[in-house]
């Protein structure tokens, strides 16, 4: 059985206000092309199809069309991530199912959709445990949903997730290909830069021991950098298909292809993706930067000028680099002396709050994580 694993599309994401819809359309079409060329038997999409819980119609068109295009190649299984709106995915689930897309918007009991059994065109059977993103609040309801014993309702987030995974995977057999599709932060995973900090640190980190040795493969979503997870079974983040943040500028984007059969662990290889514009950071004095003008193609640029802040500096840089989406000055004293409006331009509330804490000698990652989670809760429904 050959499987394609992708995740973290984040359709609707902009870069400093610039739409990336054309890039998303291109890279998702490239993924469909990979599925066709590799003649895959199954496609796993591990969450964060959208960048926001309230996507624009254009973003919805891109995602639904891409899922249906993939389903013309092979059955598709998709779960909701922390950026997705489970209510929205639930609403279109019947239509997606008619097109060959099986969705897991919310955690379900194994016999109520939490464990899928799919017979593929090859005649092979796959059992697929679905674990969409669970919030800290949602883990309590998840405990109740899975009919856990009273003594299993306590403990840290990771311990409770481990018990839920065990319950979902109880139906795995030696005669089937056993798979898990999960949107999780695994302890030790390397963050790419574009993930929400509140959902990647502290209590959201799940130990690799939570992954069952009865699984032939675990398809993970949430981290944007492609990487394997050391676990009792083969487990991997496919990563995002586009560079979404300047922290991902050095990443090669890819999908994972898995060869697997009942009773043996999966063999994994990656296929790199070429669609989409790259992100680069340029750093230098004005004289050094001027020499680079016209050499950066269509890459999105973050330009850091070494020197003092002065009027018209950003405009000068953007004359040289039309694709500069972020212009800053490296000298900290210049940044501190810049007008508040300039310092805040294009920065997220989380970044600004972090600076506020630092300025008051109160920097604390736990406080910043809580602020980020409260911000998410204010703008999106509970993703339990």
In this predicted structure, the answer to whether residue 320 has a pLDDT above a threshold of 50 is: yes
* Whole-number Å distance between alpha carbons of 273 and 284: 30
* Whole-number Å distance between alpha carbons of 9 and 32: 13
Report percent pLDDT > 70 for the chain: 80
Range with the poorest average pLDDT among 112-116, 144-148, 152-156, 271-275: 152-156
- Is 274 within 8 Å of 241 (Cβ atoms)? no
**The pLDDT of residue 159:** 83
Confidence at 304, pLDDT banded by 50, 70, 90? very high
**The pLDDT of residue 26:** 98
**The pLDDT of residue 313:** 87
- Residue 171 CA: distances (Å) to CA of 22, 223, 224, 320: 42, 28, 30, 60
pLDDT averaged over every residue in the chain:
86
Give the homologous superfamily in CATH for domain 2-272. Metallo-dependent phosphatases (3.60.21.10)
Backbone angles phi, psi at 196, to 5 degrees: -75, 125
Is the CA virtual torsion 273, 274, 277, 280 positive or negative? positive
- Is 239 within 8 Å of 225 (Cβ atoms)? yes
In this predicted structure, the answer to whether residue 336 has a pLDDT above a threshold of 50 is: no
In this predicted structure, the answer to whether residue 64 has a pLDDT above a threshold of 60 is: yes
* Whole-number Å distance between alpha carbons of 93 and 78: 10
> Stretch 283-300: mean pLDDT, rounded?
92
In this predicted structure, the answer to whether residue 135 has a pLDDT above a threshold of 50 is: yes
81: nearest Cα among 169, 244, 197, 199: 199
- Is 159 within 8 Å of 189 (Cβ atoms)? no
**The pLDDT of residue 138:** 72
**The pLDDT of residue 308:** 81
pLDDT tens track for 252-276: 999 999 999 998 889 999 999 999 9
Domain boundaries, the chain: 2-272, 279-379
Range with the poorest average pLDDT among 117-126, 139-148, 214-223, 288-297: 139-148
């Amino acid at each position: 059985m050959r499987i394609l694993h992708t995740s973290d599309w984040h359709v609707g994401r902009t870069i400093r206000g610039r739409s990336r819809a054309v890039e998303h359309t291109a890279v998702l079409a490239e993924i469909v092309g990979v599925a066709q060329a590799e003649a895959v038997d199954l496609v796993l999409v591990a969450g964060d199809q959208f960048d926001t819980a309230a996507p624009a119609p254009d973003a919805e068109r891109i995602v639904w069309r891409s899922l249906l295009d993939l389903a013309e190649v092979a059955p598709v299984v998709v779960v909701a991530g922390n950026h997705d709106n489970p209510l929205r995915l639930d609403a279109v689930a019947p239509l997606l199912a008619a097109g060959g897309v099986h969705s897991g918007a919310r955690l379900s009991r194994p016999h109520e959709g939490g464990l899928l059994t799919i017979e593929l065109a090859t005649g092979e059977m796959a059992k697929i445990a679905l674990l969409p993103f669970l919030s800290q609040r949602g883990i309590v309801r998840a405990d109740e949903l899975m009919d856990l014993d009273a003594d299993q309702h306590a403990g840290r987030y990771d311990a409770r997730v481990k018990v839920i995974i065990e319950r979902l995977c109880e139906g795995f057999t030696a005669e089937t290909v056993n798979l898990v599709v999960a949107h999780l932060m695994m302890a030790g995973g390397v963050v790419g830069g574009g993930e929400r900090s509140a959902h990647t640190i502290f209590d959201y980190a799940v130990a690799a021991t939570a992954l069952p040795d009865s699984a032939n493969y675990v398809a993970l979503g949430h981290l944007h950098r492609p990487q394997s997870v050391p676990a009792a079974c083969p487990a991997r983040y496919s990563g995002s298909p586009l560079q979404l943040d300047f922290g991902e500028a050095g990443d090669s984007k890819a999908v994972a292809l898995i060869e697997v059969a009942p009773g043996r662990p999966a063999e994994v290889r990656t296929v790199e993706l070429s669609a989409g514009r790259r992100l680069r950071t340029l750093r230098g004095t004005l004289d050094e930067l001027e020499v680079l003008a016209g050499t950066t193609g269509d890459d999105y640029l973050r330009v850091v000028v070494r020197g003092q802040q002065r009027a018209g500096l950003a405009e000068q840089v953007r004359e040289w680099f039309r694709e500069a989406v972020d212009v800053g000055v490296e000298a900290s004293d210049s940044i501190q002396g810049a007008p508040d409006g300039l310092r805040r331009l294009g920065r997220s509330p989380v970044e600004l709050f972090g600076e506020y804490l630092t300025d008051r000698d109160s920097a604390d990652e736990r406080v910043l994580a809580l602020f980020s989670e409260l911000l998410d809760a204010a703008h999106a429904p509970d993703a339990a």
